[in-house]
Structures are given as C-alpha cells and as structure tokens.
Copies of this chain bind each other. A is one copy, B any other.
Amino acid sequence: MHSMACGRLSSTPILNRSKIVPASAGMMASCNERRTGARQEAAGNHMAASVKDVAALAGVSVGTVSNVMNRPEKVSIAVAARVQTAIDQLGFVRNDAARQLRAGRSSTIGLVVLDVRNPFFTDLARGAEDRAAADGFSVILGNSDEKADREATYLDLFEVQRMHGVLISPFGDITERLRRLRERGIPAVLVDRTSADASFSSVSVDDIAGGALAVGHLLAQGRRRIAFIGGPLEIQQVSDRLDGARTAVATHPDATLEVIPIDGLTVIAGRTAGTDLVGRAPTDRPDAVFAANDLVAMGVLQALMMQGADVRVPGQIALIGYDDIDFASAAVVPLSSIRQPSALIGRTAVEILLEEAADSTLAPRQVVFQPELVVRESTL
C-alpha cells in the first residue's frame, strides 16, 4: 500500500457498450504525476493541545475549562475570558472521542438514503442537517444505493460509533436490525417508507394522494382520456400513485384511465411508451398522460416532441410527472409535476428522533405528509 506507482491502478470498468477511446492510446486512464521538491516543515505537529494544557495556561483546573465550554453560566466572567484566551492561543479543539466516551453516545445522527443523487434525498438530508444543527447535532450521510450490504455496512458503522440515532430509507426488511440498535439505545426513524408493523416511527409522503392530485389536476383542465405510464407495479410507490389516479378518475363518470405498463422508471422506457403513442391514430391517443415519475415523463415528452412526430404538448396531450426533479422545469416544455416536501420530511424525522433519543419510552409515530402539485406549461 505504500508504493502507489502512477498508472498502476486499474481504470474504472466500462459500463455500457459505447465505444471508448482513451486520451492517450494504450492506457485506459493514464496519469501524470508531479512531485514538488518542498517537503513539509519538519515536525510542525506540536501535539494537539488538551484541556489540561489550556487549564495550565489559564491557571485554572481542567474542570473549569470544561465548564467554560459547556456551562458558561457556572463560571465567572473574568475566568471565562482568561480561559477563552488560552483556548484561542493554543488553538485548542475538543477531542470528540473523549467527550463521546464520557457521554455514552455520540452527538451525531446517521442518515442512510437509497440514492444520494436523487434530489429528493439530498433535500431531505438538508432539512435533517438544519434541524439537527439547531440542537447542536451533526448529520452524517450514507448512500446505500439500494444495496443491502452497503446498508448493513452503514448500520454497523453507526452502531460502533454509538450514534445518537439513525434515519433511514430502508432497502430491505431491516426491522430486526433496527430493533437491535434500539436495544442499544440508538433509536431509528424511517423516512420515505412506513414501518410494516408500526414498531418504528416513520415520516413519509402519501403517494396515493399524489396520484389523485396529479390526475385530479388533469381532469380539472378538462382532460378525460387519461393514460398512466409507469411500472413495474411491484414498486409500492408506483402502485400507490396508480391507485390515486384510479380514485380520481372514478369521480368523473365520463373519464377513462388507460394503464400503460413499462418495465422501469427510466427516460428510455418513457420514450418507448411515448413513441408508441405517436404511432397511434390521433383519435386513439389519450388527451393526458400521468407518468409515474419525471424521468418517464421526460422520455414521453422527448418522443412526442421529436422531429416528425405531430403531437403537441400540452395542445393535444397534457403531461404530468412526479418528483419535480430539476430537469422537470428545464424540459423543452416545462413539466408539471408532484413535489414532495423533502426538507420538511428530514426536519420532522430529526425532530421525532431527538424526542425518542431523549425518552426511549415514547410510542412510535407515523407521520404522513401530503405532496404538492406544481403546475407548469405541460398541462396548461
């Protein structure tokens, strides 16, 4: 491990069938290393100062130094000032490991999300961080990437670190694992998912309401021949959104709902379904499409707007997505969508977590937020 030579490391594997040509032929990822002659000032490492050093410099006891930092009201202003000066002078920074050891647990909250690239989760994380910071807690973020082993690795890490608590959008069934954490004094709150047996608190969004909201909007715009494009239906979120769509359609006697299943929530799958619509006789087409998420919606939009396709959005077909990702507003025709209150979910989850961490006898709670409709050009 100590002899990393330039170019010895293997390159990233190629992920698809595209032709790849490295910049300098012969090496997948060649590298160029430069070493500066300057070396670090020898032994600048003057052993990080401890409370003991601060106490000595300020001429007080270590207990007083601790009080200055944690309960300033217990110490006279004169002494506090003297200690503060010493702290600044030595550049003292508290050793959190020692603090945690004494405290019995960390003042950090662990958050594991399914996909850190998804703006929903980053916004959620932001909300959690903000709320945690207000009470002096930090949040560290783990990305399970929908892989059980990665999820487990993070939970292990959080356990040895004796985290204050854990927020998680679970991938598999991990209630057993979470139960064990709770026995150790580490509470957990589920985000974006509900706990099957309600044994853990959760904060989630009502996807059924979201589906009803989307289709209700299409109906309110005068559309009647609705198509739902999404799948696979095994995904809870997808089937919930479809259920919502059904309930909305049921309120209009003359409205119909066509379900067009696809095999994944991707742009490509959406485009395929969209191309299919383009190929139909105009009278056979729906006059509105509800896509299970924004990626699918963008695929559909691409197909409809393609050169040669004679379908106008929203003229002939109104289109609405779900999730309100950044790209939704940057689409050729800005996309209407359903937005989830991501940051609010994060904030609320932290709030509940902190309460449970403070009082482990609290009964679990299930909080369900309602999504919001974002109207843009694609449904006007």
State the A residues within 8 Å of B (CB).
Answer: 1-2, 4, 6, 9-12, 16, 18-24, 27-40, 42, 44-46, 48, 91, 93-98, 100-101, 106, 116-119, 122-123, 125-127, 133, 135, 138, 140-143, 145, 153, 157, 159-162, 180, 182-185, 198-199, 206, 209-210, 212-213, 217, 266-268, 271, 299, 302, 305-307, 309, 312, 327, 329-332, 334, 339, 341-344, 347-348, 351-352, 354-355, 358, 360-376
* A98–B143 alpha-carbon span in the complex (Å): 26
Residue of B nearest to A310 (CB): B307
In the bound complex, what is the Cα–Cα distance between A348 and B206 (angstroms)? 43
Are B96 and A21 neighbours in the complex by a CB distance under 8 Å?
no
Could you show 11 A-B contacts with beta carbons less than 8 Å apart? A21-B217, A22-B370, A29-B370, A31-B348, A31-B367, A40-B182, A44-B182, A45-B184, A97-B161, A116-B141, A141-B142
A322 vs B37: C-alpha distance in the bound complex, in angstroms? 34
Q: In the complex, A1 Cα to B355 Cα: how many Å?
A: 8
The number of times this chain is found in the oligomer is 2
Bound form: Cα–Cα A101–B96 in Å: 9
Give the chain B neighbours of A97 by CB distance below 8 A. 96-98, 100-101, 106, 161-162
Across the interface, A367 reaches (CB within 8 A) one of B6, B21, B44, namely B6
> Does B141 contact A9, Cβ atoms closer than 8 Å?
no
Contact B1 A351, beta carbon cutoff 8 Å: yes
CB distance from A126 to the nearest CB of B (A): 8
Q: What residue of chain B has the Cβ atom nearest to residue A138's Cβ?
A: B157
Give complex CA distance A331, B184 in Å. 49
